Amino acid sequence: MKIALAGAERRAQIVSAWSFDVFDTFLLRACTTPDGVFERTYELSGISRSSPNVSASFVQHRIQAESRARRTAKEKRGAGEVRIEEIYSYFPFKLFGLSRADLNDLVEAEFGAEVELCRANPDMVGQYLDMKRAGHRVGFISDTYWDSGRLARLLRACRPGLTWDFLYASCDHGSGKSEALFATYLSEQGIDAGASFHVGDNEKADIKGAKRHGIQPRYYPQATAQLASKFQRETALFELLCTGAPSRLDHGARTLRRMVAARSAEGSQAFHLGLTVLGPVMAAFDAFVTRRCEEIAGPGRKVALGFLGRDGFLSHRIRQQLHDATSAYLEINRRVSLIASADTMQPLVDLLGKVLKIDAPTFHDMVKIMPAKVAAFFAGFPDGIASGQELAEALPGLIDPAEIVALAAGLRARLLAYLRQTIPGFDDCTDLVLADLGYSGSVQKALRRIFDLEGIAIRLHGAYLISLDDAFDDLAGQDSAAGLISDLVVTPHVKRMLIRNVALLEQICCSADGSVRDYDGGAVLREINPRPPEQVALAAEIQAGALAFAGRADGVARDYDLDPYAAPDVAARWCAATLARLLLLPDDDELALLGTLKHDVNLGTHALAPLLDGPFVRNQITARGLSAACTAAAPPMWLAGSFAGLSPSYNYLYVLFGANRLPADVFEERASGPVQVGLFRADGGAALEAVTVHRTGLAELRLRIPLSRGMAITMIALPLAKFAPEGLLHGLTLQRGDDVRGAAESQEVVAIATDGLVYAGVQWSGSHYRAETEDGCLLIPVGPMTQEIAVYSVAITALGARPK
């Protein structure tokens, strides 16, 4: 009986509590990173008016001031906790046209920035109130330079009427959660640690600090490690691609993404790619399309909206989900629209001139006719394959223009019947908005010609995710075009890099159907879909994630009082950075997920081109150098991903090159000196040829050895011991051409297998070698030459000191 009474008395003395971290747990900031508060302070303080375009400098000086204040406090007091006034005492006032008398004004400006950017986290508020109703003591423990008075003001500004049982700010006690602040809290409040909980986002301070004092922690991370890594890359790209723009204030776009992801734990890797990356991009694009339609609408205007297939499939689905509005999905591609718009041969010539290679069956698939002269033209080429440019130049002499005009007129009539079937009230429309991924408006321009030929006065307006803006100066009449990611958002250099890698986005956003080839009675006739079923399924899973983000984002934005599209220019820049991060700086997981995708050429053919080809890039670097590899023509379609397959550093060099931030004298090769290469003929004769050794910006040695067919060389002896006695062989390649320049510039680079090489006096293991004698050589067999010139290229990283 006495034991039972003692137990009851002990339980009655137990005081349980729930403590919450404040910043990034109970309160969230509507900016990309916590130092967004400093960027807003720069604006609110008025310094942005007296010293414009130096927000980055202000932010860095604010961070440095805090670091110096904490270091000094640690040296003087043994603890690094400081108040906000101490931080600003180390700020360089004069640099920004201020004096020390302005210290309090800066403090108030920063507090105002906190009030403006902080939001009460509804998930945490709900948990807080539940614990309070359950009879627990509740309150806050924060590592912060804001004292408890200001912290209380901030909490109530974000959640009016909020009450608490305790509130601890580290700067008031000279100790943080990783030190003695939890102990102070437990002692002063009489809290039983074993019956209490602490919720926070910092693994060291909140989780390990609570555990050290016997408190049960509840981890509330801001983002997964994978998503946090993506965010870091996005910020780096934003600062690289959107120069001069504030990089921390995004109206809560990143906070929205974090919170949607936190509420969406389900789904595959592909689903989460759509949820966290593609969905935010396409939601921003949807907001842009909405603004475009509103800008075009007006008195006496009837505006229709159509999303161009197949790449506009996902954006159309998002439109339907978000707005439940009347919008059409228009299956019109470049091939159909250009042919239908032809009243001369020129549109067909323009189309074919953009095709890399073409044969007779492909021509028939595209044009649907095969005149005898065209068949004879193809028969005159090896394997019946010609370049599109060669065919375009010859076409006027191969086809009767009247035949093309008649073909176009029939297709045009069927296309217009399809438009009338698909767009409600088509003939009453005054304006038609065409939404698409982009880029130069070829379908829009072709439709303009079609409408003009048929006397249709509907104005056409492009709403593109990515626009090549210099292509729109020739738009007719009152037509217009605009891109969310325009040349006012990123530079033309960056735009070209994005377009070079945009095939990945096209495949992800594409419908599962084959490309349109014709129409019949208003119905679409499609080509077969050449993409493998697993690729179609993967795209569908990514699209499902994007749709999930679009469907959940509006509710989450309301919960957190976020408005990510309030400033169109800010939304466009972050959309560009988010998309660029995926296209230009993919991580290893994304490479593994997306690397098997192939690009549907979509010109009425069944051809598929690879997205990734790392060996292609390595061979281009070996044979032609880094800059030539960075400007290589497709395929591979995803060049940035192919660089990433080599290494993250190569990938970033490619991005720097595409952003015009990689000076040629840094990464291009320079002559390092000559070496005598042995050339052996089949008749036993031999000669020494001086070849220049070049050194690249990546510290590789590169040699190019040109041979002519008349030299009859059967073996090259490369004297490794003379210029690089130990090293790594990165590649050995062959290029061919009718002259030396043509061969050296050829993108058709063949890798030579190392197992066919002969190592004379050289120890070899994998790619590593070491010359064992002063005459150690690499012997390279020379195969039969099919063209006049062959260029053999060798790329080596020398290890150790070079011989003198």
Segment 746-770 shows an average pLDDT of 93
pLDDT of residue 800: 78
Name the pLDDT band for 697 (thresholds 50, 70, 90). confident
List the alpha helices (DSSP H) in 134-207.
148-158, 170-173, 181-189
pLDDT digits (tens, 9 = 90+) for 472-498: 998 988 999 999 999 999 999 999 999
Are β-strands 303-308 and 431-436 bridged in parallel, bridged antiparallel, or unpaired? parallel
pLDDT of residue 399: 87
Segment 246-251 shows an average pLDDT of 93
Q: Is the pLDDT of residue 574 over 70?
A: yes
Residue 467: exposed, middle, or buried by beta-carbon count in 10 A (0-12, 13-18, 19+)? buried
The model carries a pTM of: 0.91
pLDDT digits (tens, 9 = 90+) for 180-210: 999 999 999 999 999 999 999 999 999 999 9
Q: Is the pLDDT of residue 521 over 70?
A: yes
pLDDT of residue 602: 60
Name the pLDDT band for 7 (thresholds 50, 70, 90). very low
pLDDT digits (tens, 9 = 90+) for 314-350: 999 999 999 977 899 999 999 899 999 988 888 778 8
**CB contact at 8 A, 19 and 196:** yes
pLDDT digits (tens, 9 = 90+) for 108-127: 999 999 999 999 999 999 99
pLDDT of residue 698: 86
pLDDT of residue 790: 96
Angstrom CA distances, 116 to 20, 36, 111, 124, stand at 21, 11, 9, 19
pLDDT of residue 516: 92
Residue ranges and CATH numbers for the domains of the chain are 15-222 (3.40.50.1000), 228-284+533-594 (no CATH), 612-665 (no CATH), 669-798 (2.60.40)
pLDDT higher for 245 or 284?
Answer: 284
Q: Is the pLDDT of residue 272 over 90?
A: yes
How far is the C-alpha of 106 from the C-alpha of 85, rounded, in Å? 9
pLDDT digits (tens, 9 = 90+) for 45-69: 999 999 998 999 999 999 999 999 9
Q: Is the pLDDT of residue 680 over 50?
A: yes
pLDDT of residue 803: 54
pLDDT of residue 606: 66
Q: Is the pLDDT of residue 262 over 80?
A: yes
List the alpha helices (DSSP H) in 159-278.
170-173, 181-189, 209-212, 225-241, 253-262, 269-273
Percent share of the chain, pLDDT over 90: 80
Q: Is the pLDDT of residue 604 over 90?
A: no
| Omega before 361 within 30 of 0, i.e. cis | no
Percent share of the chain, pLDDT over 70: 97
pLDDT of residue 366: 73
pLDDT of residue 2: 45
- The whole-angstrom distance between residue 264's C-alpha and the CA centroid of its chain comes to 22
Q: Which of 402, 365, 705, 625 is nearest to 517 (CA)?
A: 365
Name the pLDDT band for 143 (thresholds 50, 70, 90). very high
Mean pLDDT lowest for which of 289-298, 387-396, 497-506? 387-396
pLDDT of residue 1: 44
- Cα angle 767, 773, 776 (rounded to 5 degrees) comes to 50
pLDDT of residue 584: 98
pLDDT of residue 603: 55
pLDDT of residue 619: 95
Q: Is the pLDDT of residue 16 over 80?
A: yes
> What's the chain's average pLDDT?
92
Q: Please name every residue paired with 667 in a beta bridge, in sequence order, or none if there are none.
A: none
How far does the chain reach from its first CA to its final CA, in angstroms?
96
